[in-house]
Amino acid sequence: MSNKEPRHRSNYKDIAVLALVPAIVAGLIVVSWALAHWKIGPTFVNAALAIIATVFGGFQRFIAGFKDIARRKITVNVFVAVALIATLAVGEFRPAAIIVVIMAVAGALESYTLDKTRKSIRDLLDFSPKMATTRRQGQDVEVPVAELQVGDLVLVKPGARIPVDGVVTAGASSVNQAPITGESMPVEKGVGSNVFSGTLNESGRLEIRTETVGENTTLARIVHLVQEAQGTRAPIQNLADRFTTWFLPAVVLLALLAFALSGDVHTAVSVLLVACPCAFAIATPTAVTAGVSNMARRAVLIKGGSFLELAHKINHLLVDKTGTFTFGKPALVEIISLNGFSSDDILQLAAIAEKHSEHPLGRSILAAGRARNLDIPDPEHFNSTTGMGVEVQWNAAKILVGKPDFLREAGVPLAAPVEEALHQQAAQGRTAVLVAHNGQPIGVLAIADQIRPEIPATIRALKRMGIQRITMLTGDHPQVAAAVAKAIGVDDFQAGMLPEDKQAFVKKLQADGQIVGMIGDGINDAPALAQADVGIAMGAAGTDVAIETADVTLMTDDISRVVDFMWMSATVLRRIKLNIFFSMIYNVIGLTLGVLGMMTPIIAVLFQEAGCVTVVFSSTLLLWAKMRRMPA
């Protein structure tokens, strides 16, 4: 049996249960009508069948309504209970039963539709395999995933899904991480790489040391987060609560007015029925649920409807620099030639010198040399001065790579053109590394943390969406911050900031009455993320502190998804207002026709339930809503 068969059977069972009550009530109504139509048996028998159908189908509504009355709350269930009791009281037994079956069908449709919006989240659980191959006492054995423990070695073949969060200890492969990060392309994994439960091992065999299992895996936390978010209320939902509090007394007065004008109690009952605010009650939760599910499919996790409502109101956005606007890794960005050496010759000599270095700048130089497919043999002699530079012998030449002071102390003369080149790189916020060959400077390597290519376009898109000011926060030097800020187009920056400084800056803006959003990596930015009105953690797959601290979590390093989130926030709010408008229109028209005596109880319910169907359909469309990319 496949893993999906039990889930499919469960879905069919749920659908059958939802359809069961309307089917039984409808059957009782048909029998009651047949007995009355052909005058079979006493009249009270067909009336009793209709009453049984009403009580059976509307039992939960009655109980919920009475409980709400006991709690002194006026809700949709109170409306329904009052309307049904009034319908039965005037002797409309079969119409009351028909009302119940219509409401039951509408309720089943609503439940099924809302369940479909959650299906994308529940289906994430299907990505996690139930069995795993682990090595125990030198043997490869297959065990249930639930029995795995932290530290176990798990073996994953090509084409199989990874059952745990862990670290690769042997092997190499391409892994499809779409369920976790939403990345469309597979990611190369090797020794030391982190992998996540539910992702697909596409090509090579991997050996993985287990870090987390079960409910602690990133996949399980994602499912829990989104399910929790779908159960939270957006502040705009309070409008529905306030509305129902005064609406029922107003409707009762209208029903009395209709009775006074028409002298027909059935007209008054029709007014009660057509006014049931079911559509109004579901206007917000259905839209919020669909919006959260839509974003979850794009690996954007939203903790609750309140953040969907608040996001489009952000007027000051703060963004951490390192790892958010930039890759967070030094890279060679320019080679300045001195004394006639070519850029490849300069880079080759520097890479040879740095081949055995562990310094991040040295590794970036070596990576650049390998990217150009340069020949990089081992140096004949290697000597490193911590924090300053390296000195090597190679091919009968002495090579120095490091800071200007390191070369000066070694007796290398730095003429005016060299000093000018160093000054220009510093002005751009870059780190300048000098290369000397046999006592003469031959080149300058400019190294910087590279800006993510999508950042400038994302900044422009965010500003077009109404964010008034974007400020970059960083612990880096002012010169570096200024260069990055100018390149990406933010309004201003704050440099040399510690985590507590970032949090204090958020507080200051909030004290000035601004709605503050904060984007960071979820670790050193945790205080600011927690303080902000909307905290957004970026690239947080597998990061506990990010998922726990932030209000919104981007599972990848693609900051452009913030634009999608902001757009969805505005879209959901517009859809909620549209849903409320639809429900109000149905109520206004229905009440008008009801007061004028132009509705029967059955027509009133059909009209009212049409409003519910319209709202559910309107919200469901959000599941497939997608932002049209604006030109850069």
The residues that are catalytic are 320
Per the CB < 8 A criterion, the answer to whether 93 and 47 are in contact is yes
DSSP code, position 235: G
Given the DSSP bridges, would you call strands 153-156 and 131-136 parallel, antiparallel or unpaired? Answer: antiparallel
Q: Which residue is it, tokens 């726990």? A: 548
Given the DSSP bridges, would you call strands 326-337 and 440-451 parallel, antiparallel or unpaired? Answer: antiparallel
What phi, psi does 477 have (nearest 5°)?
Answer: -70, 150
Rounded Cα–Cα distance for residues 44 and 563 (Å): 64
Angle, CA 266 vertex, CA 260 and CA 269 arms, to 5°: 90
Buried residues in 34-49 as b, exposed as e (16+ CB within 10 A): ebbeeeeeeeeebbeb
Q: Alpha-carbon torsion 71, 74, 76, 82, what sign? A: positive
Rounded Cα–Cα distance for residues 9 and 307 (Å): 35
- Pull the structure tokens for residue 42: 């006493």
What phi, psi does 492 have (nearest 5°)?
Answer: -160, 180
Q: What distances in angstroms separate CA 581 from CA 254, 358, 487, 575, 586, one per listed residue?
A: 21, 64, 45, 10, 9
What residues form DSSP beta bridges with 212?
Answer: 165
Per the CB < 8 A criterion, the answer to whether 302 and 289 are in contact is no
Rounded Cα–Cα distance for residues 329 and 75 (Å): 56
- Best CA proximity match to 87, nearest among 39, 53, 118: 53
Given the DSSP bridges, would you call strands 516-520 and 316-320 parallel, antiparallel or unpaired? Answer: parallel
At 399, which helix (H) or strand (E)? Answer: strand 397-402
Per the CB < 8 A criterion, the answer to whether 547 and 301 are in contact is yes
The alpha carbon of residue 289 and the mean position of all alpha carbons in its chain are separated, in whole angstroms, by: 12
Rounded Cα–Cα distance for residues 112 and 266 (Å): 33
At 513, which helix (H) or strand (E)? Answer: none
What phi, psi does 191 have (nearest 5°)?
Answer: -60, 130
Q: Is 572 left (phi over 0), alpha (psi -120 to 50) or beta?
A: alpha
